[in-house]
């Protein structure tokens, strides 16, 4: 079995995270117990029969081969995923792409910063860091109160992690502002030594990622962002997810890119491609 084999799996659990967002659980073990372990930050292509195949981050997994995806209903395929019931089948191809690398020093000040559905891969990473006894700070943002996801999960991590902050753009729950604004507030009194000990992992709306990138670049903070682009193949064949001018592919070389690559990407924070490959402004 390779990562590009499609496995047809049965959905065994569905959780409503908030209005318009559901987490689906399925088992990726084959009959002979063959099982590819995913890594936090990787994604899968989810095939809904007769509809489409779309990329989804892995939001959780365990040692028994149970994986989870957390899906926001935004269009045709995600709407079909939301209509699925326990016992229905989906096709899963993956795990695909690169992953969040665990810092080699536990003394690093780690920030996981996510906005909207971008929190999904960070939740998976948070679980791994907790397993490995790493301390870290989570900043999770959403547009409004009803869009916040994983609040109970993150509250339950509180004793195991350093800090947990949540925020909404309109201030309807938690702190008011973008996750990137909260990060700026938290580090505003840091000195150069403290900046050099920070490592930021982020995923969410690209404007938020771009703001974080600018802040991190200014203070030479280690920074990683998981990017989203429309994908057709998810495995380097179609070129739809190409990032100019380096020609890197989000599906093969990403979705996670470090600051040194991001600063070379003219597309980052500015352009994406539509389904035909035409470049459009963000």
Ligand X SMILES: Cc1cc2nc3c(=O)[nH]c(=O)nc-3n(C[C@H](O)[C@H](O)[C@H](O)COP(=O)(O)OP(=O)(O)OC[C@H]3O[C@@H](n4cnc5c(N)ncnc54)[C@H](O)[C@@H]3O)c2cc1C
Task: Determine, following the binding rule CB under 6 A, whether residue 238 of this chain makes contact with ligand FES.
Answer: yes
DSSP letters for 66-80: EEEEEEE--SHHHHH
The residue within the footprint of ligand FES, chosen from 114, 234, 254, 255 (CB under 6 A), is 234
The residue within the footprint of ligand X, chosen from 181, 228, 253, 267 (CB under 6 A), is 228
The residue within the footprint of ligand X, chosen from 7, 11, 45, 54 (CB under 6 A), is 54
The residue within the footprint of ligand X, chosen from 9, 71, 208, 259 (CB under 6 A), is 71
Closest CA to 60 of 35, 94, 26, 88: 26
The residue within the footprint of ligand FES, chosen from 112, 198, 209, 231 (CB under 6 A), is 231
Per partner kind, with CB cut-offs from 5 to 8 A, the member of ligand FES, ligand X, none near residue 223 is none
Task: Determine, following the binding rule CB under 6 A, whether residue 46 of this chain makes contact with ligand FES.
Answer: no
CA 202 to chain centre: 8
Per partner kind, with CB cut-offs from 5 to 8 A, the member of ligand FES, ligand X, none near residue 236 is ligand FES
Of 97 and 204, the one with the shorter C-beta distance to ligand FES is: 97
Task: Determine, following the binding rule CB under 6 A, whether residue 200 of this chain makes contact with ligand FES.
Answer: no
Task: Determine, following the binding rule CB under 6 A, whether residue 277 of this chain makes contact with ligand FES.
Answer: no
Which pairing describes strands 242-243 and 248-249: parallel, antiparallel, or unpaired?
antiparallel
Task: Determine, following the binding rule CB under 6 A, whether residue 95 of this chain makes contact with ligand FES.
Answer: no
Query: Which residues inside 243-262 make contact with ligand FES, applying CB under 6 A?
Result: 249, 251
Distance CA 270, CA 272 (A): 7
Minimum separation from the CB atom of position 139 to ligand FES (A): 29
Backbone phi, then psi, for 61, in 5-degree steps? -160, 160
Closest CA to 199 of 124, 66, 93, 103: 103
Q: Which residue is nearest to ligand X (CB)?
A: 75
**∠ at Cα 119 (8, 228), nearest 5°?**
70
Task: Determine, following the binding rule CB under 6 A, whether residue 208 of this chain makes contact with ligand X.
Answer: no
Task: Determine, following the binding rule CB under 6 A, whether residue 96 of this chain makes contact with ligand FES.
Answer: no
- For 230-267, letters b (16+ CB in 10 Å) and e give ebbbbbeeeebbbbeeeebbbbbbbbbbebebbeebeb
Task: Determine, following the binding rule CB under 6 A, whether residue 160 of this chain makes contact with ligand FES.
Answer: no
Give me 21's structure tokens: 């967002």
Give the torsion sign (CA, 50, 51, 54, 60): negative
Task: Determine, following the binding rule CB under 6 A, whether residue 77 of this chain makes contact with ligand FES.
Answer: no
Q: Cβ distance 270 to 282 under 8 Å?
A: yes
Q: Cβ distance 127 to 41 under 8 Å?
A: no
Contact footprint for ligand X (CB under 6 A): 43, 52, 54-57, 70-72, 74-78, 117, 120, 228-231, 255
Contact footprint for ligand FES (CB under 6 A): 231-234, 236-241, 249, 251
């Amino acid at each position: 079995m390779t990562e590009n084999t499609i496995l047809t799996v049965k959905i065994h659990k569905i959780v409503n995270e908030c209005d318009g967002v559901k987490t689906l659980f399925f088992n990726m073990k084959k009959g002979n117990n063959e099982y590819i372990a995913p890594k936090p930050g990787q994604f899968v292509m989810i095939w809904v029969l007769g509809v489409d195949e779309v990329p989804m981050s892995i939001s959780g997994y365990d040692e028994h081969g149970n994986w989870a995806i957390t899906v926001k209903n935004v269009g045709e395929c995600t709407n079909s995923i939301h209509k699925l019931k326990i016992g229905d089948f989906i096709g899963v191809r993956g795990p695909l792409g690169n992953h969040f690398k665990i810092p080699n020093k536990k003394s690093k000040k780690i920030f996981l910063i996510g906005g909207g559905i971008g929190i999904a891969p960070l939740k998976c990473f948070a679980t791994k860091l907790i397993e490995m006894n790493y301390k870290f700070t989570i900043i999770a943002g959403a547009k409004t109160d009803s869009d916040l996801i994983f609040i109970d999960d993150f509250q339950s991590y509180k004793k195991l992690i350093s800090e947990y902050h949540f925020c909404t753009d309109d201030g309807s729950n938690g702190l008011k502002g973008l996750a990137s604004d909260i990060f700026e507030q938290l580090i505003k009194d840091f000195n150069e030594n403290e900046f050099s000990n920070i490592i930021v992992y982020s995923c969410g709306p690209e404007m938020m990622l771009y703001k974080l990138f600018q802040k991190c670049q200014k203070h030479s903070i280690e920074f990683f962002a998981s990017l989203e682009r429309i994908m057709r193949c998810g495995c380097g064949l179609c070129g739809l997810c190409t990032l100019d001018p380096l020609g890197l592919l989000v599906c093969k070389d990403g979705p996670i890119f470090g600051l040194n690559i991001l600063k070379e990407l003219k597309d980052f924070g500015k352009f994406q491609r539509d389904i035909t490959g035409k470049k459009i402004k963000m």
